[in-house]
Amino acid sequence: MSDEPSNRYEPQIIESRRQAAWRERDAFKTPPLIEEQPHLYIKPSAPFTSGNVHIGHVRSYSIGDAYARFRRARGDAVLFAFGYDAFGLPAELGAIAGGVSPSEWVNRCATHMTGQLDRLGFSFDWERSFVSSDAVMYRWSQWLFLALLDAGLIYHGTGNVDWCDNCETTLASIQVEPGGTCWRCHGPVRLIQLPQWYLRISAYVKENDERLAERAASGIWDEVPLASQEIVLGRVDGVELELAPVGGGAPLMVFTPHANALADARFVLVSARHPDADEWASDPEVHDRLEQLRSGGWERSSREAETIPVIDTGRRVVGPTGTELPVLVSPVVDSRFGPTAVLGIPAHDRTDEVVAERLGIEFERAADGGAEGVEGGDDSGSGTAALGGRPAVRYRAFDFVVSRQRSWGTPIPIVYCSRCGTVPVPREQLPVELPLDIHPTGAGNPLAEMESFVQTTCPTCGGPARRETDTLDCHFDALWLWIPACVPAESREDSLEEILALADLRHWLPSERLVAGSDSGNFVFDQRIVTKALRDIGPLEFLEDGEPFAGCLFHEMVVSDGRKMSKHLGNVVDPDELVARYGADTVRLAVLYAARPQKSLNWSDSAVLHCNRFLKQVWETTQRAIALARAQELGNAAGVAVGAASGENGAGETGSAEPVRDTTEHLRLKLSGWCDAAVQRTTTDMEGLEMHSAVRNVMRLLDRIKDFEKKVLARQPELGAANVQALTDALTVLAQMLGPFVPHIAEELWVALGNDEHVTQTPWPGVSSTVPV
Ligand SMILES: [Zn+2]
Ligand SMILES: [Zn+2]
């Protein structure tokens, strides 16, 4: 097999040669900090160590990689790295299925996936990448847990979890089968109450809301992630007012989105999680029912207003017009307004209408017959003011449980001492290491049964103590998983206090762009909360707005025949197979070409074939132009030699012949204009991560180039020197613009066209060259 560029497009040879060159020159190493230079941290999503890179990953990383390469091509300092999200249930289940320990499983998966991603030519800085289940990494989770605990942003409370009696284990919601049975033994699943650790996001929900307008104004937050943040917030505008209890006592603050209909209020609904719910349900029988409701499966049951539990407390408050209103407790409030209390206005609210009918509460239907859902934003006019309401906002987003009763996760750095109670592990004793010889079976929590782990000494009194055996949900790991890539690998072993004081964080944060799947809204919302907490706690105080991502793009899924790909449906596309057959460049180009990032990509082989054909044409056209240029040079050299030998006047291309009148200059000018326009359009597309449009603009340029050649040859038998030059110039621009999408073939052609390799990336057209290797 020859290593010489041939006129045939052979992606396998080209791609392995380019990848070897990148490794050789350490092309994607994160550049050192330079004070004056802007630093761009382009944040890809953190893949689960699922074992295989799927076509959805290829889409995600092709977008992020194209952007990272584009910014490098313009001379920017770029950080492009990620951590594998290695804890959690999928890894645990994978390990069970594979008959190995989870740590062995995730390391095996990470190695395999790294190989796959490398073969695709993604420009990750592997030195900065990591696996979140390494102790030196998950101590970030533990440090964060303690920092948030100190700040009062983590608390211990009681929550409901799914529980299987046969397996003696808690179940994640994905382990509960649709009929409410256990995934493992198919036995019934109950909801039980367990003490849990909660993250108090409610402290920052309002700021996340207020900062959203700034995100939108930045112009680099795409509409999809912006919308996702609104959805997670669940903001409802309305009015609130205080109602006095009949028989005395502290007033109850109630909210309603129906500001103009206060007079139609017929009851009050209080969330079971409302801080005063127990007080309102103080009657022993009512309180029993409330406890039953809290532990008895309302999260399992339908959330529909028709079936959701409603408890009449027997108590009343004085309503806005002076009539007495019954006080009811129901979780129906939470899913609409968060853990608050609301006015029930059945004439104007469909849910309230259903509740009123169930409880036999009488009301008059509105004249327009229009009981509506939550409209929000009703103007709080004079009528409202007269009834005592004032504008108010409620959010559905609320504190959530971060602990899990499972073994494959970050150990929670807490010990329980009979003398001192709940004691946080001192930070200098981190990490609390997870034993690596755990073999989960799906039943119980093996960590809780491992006495060597459980038994410890109390850090405060030195007496015997027991470790917390719950672990942190991997959603908690995701809160920090994007930060450590900012830190040079050689600092990774330092104390977290030292790491957080590094100048690197100030330079790389906030991340210039997050590129992630459209299902990342919750992660991003909670990451935005935690950076605000860390700003106030101290380590990220330089982030004034507390925002982790200056810009954000969410892309949709890759589907097949309009359906999600799954093994079950047999419609999975295997990237490895495609790469082996067509080369990485074709696969990367196809996922970018086939759809806008914001649209679902409906997989079709025709996009692959089209892109493969295009690359073949680029290759052949460029090789032909290079051959013409060489022939020209040789011809010139020969011409000069002959001319000099015969002593005739005239060197160079015209020789002694009568100069041919050039009738193609306007075509060259036109070609050069097309190149300029293509560069301009593609640059704008790349800045906006509109890869789909960028690829099409570059493809169009090839058509223009071929058109130019055809038109010249229609006028004269040969291209001639000036046109060959124009042709190679245009093809050089084409190769430069292809660099971010199809980096292997692009760099190969760039070099073949007589240019030097650059350390990071072929420069973008119009960018003055940086130092070549
Ligand atoms: Zn079970
Ligand atoms: Zn103690």
Q: Is 321 left (phi over 0), alpha (psi -120 to 50) or beta?
A: alpha
Question: Residues 319, 231: contact at Cβ < 8 Å?
Answer: no
Tell how far the Cα of 167 is from the centroid of ligand 1, in angstroms. Answer: 4
Q: Which ligand is closest in space to the CA of residue 418?
A: 2
Alpha helix (H) residue ranges in 583-604 = 584-593
Q: Which ligand is closest in space to the CA of residue 183?
A: 1
CA 74/CA 679 separation, integer angstroms: 13
- Reduced to 3 states (helix: H, G, I; strand: E, B; else coil), residue 201 is helix
Tell how far the Cα of 186 is from the centroid of ligand 1, in angstroms. Answer: 6
Do you know the residue count of the chain?
773
Preceding amide of 195 cis, omega within 30: no
CA 619/CA 746 separation, integer angstroms: 9
Could you tell me how many helices (H) and strands (E) the chain has, helices first?
25, 27
Rounded to the nearest 10°, the torsion over CA 302, 307, 313, 319 is 100
Ranges of residues in the chain with a pLDDT under 50 are: 1-3, 299-302, 369, 374-382, 641-656, 769-773
- DSSP letter (8 states) at residue 283: S
User: What pLDDT score does 328 carry?
Assistant: 96
Alpha helix (H) residue ranges in 470-574 = 474-478, 496-500, 503-508, 521-537
User: What pLDDT score does 378 carry?
Assistant: 44
The residue written with tokens 């095996």 in the block is 108
Question: Residues 508, 122: contact at Cβ < 8 Å?
Answer: no
| Strand 154-164, strand 189-199: pairing | antiparallel
Give the per-residue SS3 of 701-769.
HHHHHHHHHHHHHHHCCCCCHHHHHHHHHHHHHHHHHHCCCCHHHHHHHHHHCCCCCECCCCCCCCCCC
CA 86/CA 49 separation, integer angstroms: 5
Tell how far the Cα of 405 is from the centroid of ligand 1, in angstroms. Answer: 14
Tell how far the Cα of 144 is from the centroid of ligand 2, in angstroms. Answer: 23
How many CA atoms lie less than 13 Å away from 226 in the CB half-sphere? Answer: 16
User: What pLDDT score does 648 carry?
Assistant: 42
Tell how far the Cα of 455 is from the centroid of ligand 2, in angstroms. Answer: 13
- DSSP letter (8 states) at residue 652: S
CA 256/CA 387 separation, integer angstroms: 13
User: What pLDDT score does 641 carry?
Assistant: 46
Alpha helix (H) residue ranges in 201-280 = 205-210, 212-218, 223-233, 277-280
Give the per-residue SS3 of 75-131.
CCEEECCCEEECCCHHHHHHHHHHCCCHHHHHHHHHHHHHHHHHHCCCCCCHHHCEE
CA 94/CA 83 separation, integer angstroms: 19
Tell how far the Cα of 413 is from the centroid of ligand 2, in angstroms. Answer: 15
Tell how far the Cα of 241 is from the centroid of ligand 2, in angstroms. Answer: 47
Query: Please, which residues have CB less than 5 A from ligand 2, an ion?
Result: 417, 419-420, 458, 460-461, 463
| Phi, psi torsion values for 104, nearest 5 degrees | -65, -40
Query: Please, which residues have CB less than 5 A from ligand 1, an ion?
Result: 164, 166-167, 182, 184-185, 187
| Strand 400-401, strand 189-199: pairing | antiparallel
Q: Which ligand is closest in space to the CA of residue 458?
A: 2
b (16+ CB within 10 A) / e for 747-765: bbbbbbbebebbbbbbbbb
CA 736/CA 70 separation, integer angstroms: 10
Positive or negative torsion for Cα 364, 369, 373, 375: negative
b (16+ CB within 10 A) / e for 145-155: bbbbbeeebbe
Q: Which ligand is closest in space to the CA of residue 169?
A: 1
Q: Which ligand is closest in space to the CA of residue 466?
A: 2
The residue written with tokens 């099409």 in the block is 696
- Reduced to 3 states (helix: H, G, I; strand: E, B; else coil), residue 386 is helix
Tell how far the Cα of 640 is from the centroid of ligand 2, in angstroms. Answer: 95
Tell how far the Cα of 418 is from the centroid of ligand 2, in angstroms. Answer: 7
Rg (CA), the chain: 32
What are the C-alpha distances in Å from 742 to residues 65, 517, 688?
10, 22, 19
User: What pLDDT score does 651 carry?
Assistant: 42
CA 607/CA 352 separation, integer angstroms: 51
Both tokens of 686, joined, read 């790349």
Tell how far the Cα of 462 is from the centroid of ligand 2, in angstroms. Answer: 6
Both tokens of 157, joined, read 């409370």
Q: Which ligand is closest in space to the CA of residue 416?
A: 2
List, in sequence order, every residue forming a beta bridge with 234; answer none if it has no partner.
none
User: What pLDDT score does 4 carry?
Assistant: 53
Tell how far the Cα of 95 is from the centroid of ligand 1, in angstroms. Answer: 18
How far does CA 230 lie from the centroid of its chain? 16
CA 692/CA 682 separation, integer angstroms: 10
Tell how far the Cα of 422 is from the centroid of ligand 2, in angstroms. Answer: 8
Q: Which ligand is closest in space to the CA of residue 164?
A: 1
Q: Which ligand is closest in space to the CA of residue 415?
A: 2
CA 670/CA 661 separation, integer angstroms: 19
CA 327/CA 290 separation, integer angstroms: 13
User: What pLDDT score does 642 carry?
Assistant: 44
pLDDT tens, 734-771?
Answer: 999 999 999 999 999 999 999 999 999 999 998 654 43
Q: Which ligand is closest in space to the CA of residue 459?
A: 2
Q: Which ligand is closest in space to the CA of residue 165?
A: 1
Tell how far the Cα of 437 is from the centroid of ligand 1, in angstroms. Answer: 23
What are the C-alpha distances in Å from 208 to residues 395, 396, 725?
11, 13, 56
User: What pLDDT score does 507 carry?
Assistant: 95
Tell how far the Cα of 164 is from the centroid of ligand 1, in angstroms. Answer: 5
Tell how far the Cα of 190 is from the centroid of ligand 1, in angstroms. Answer: 11
The residue written with tokens 């402290």 in the block is 203
CA 731/CA 516 separation, integer angstroms: 33
pLDDT tens, 690-749?
Answer: 999 999 999 999 999 999 999 999 999 999 999 999 999 999 999 999 999 999 999 999
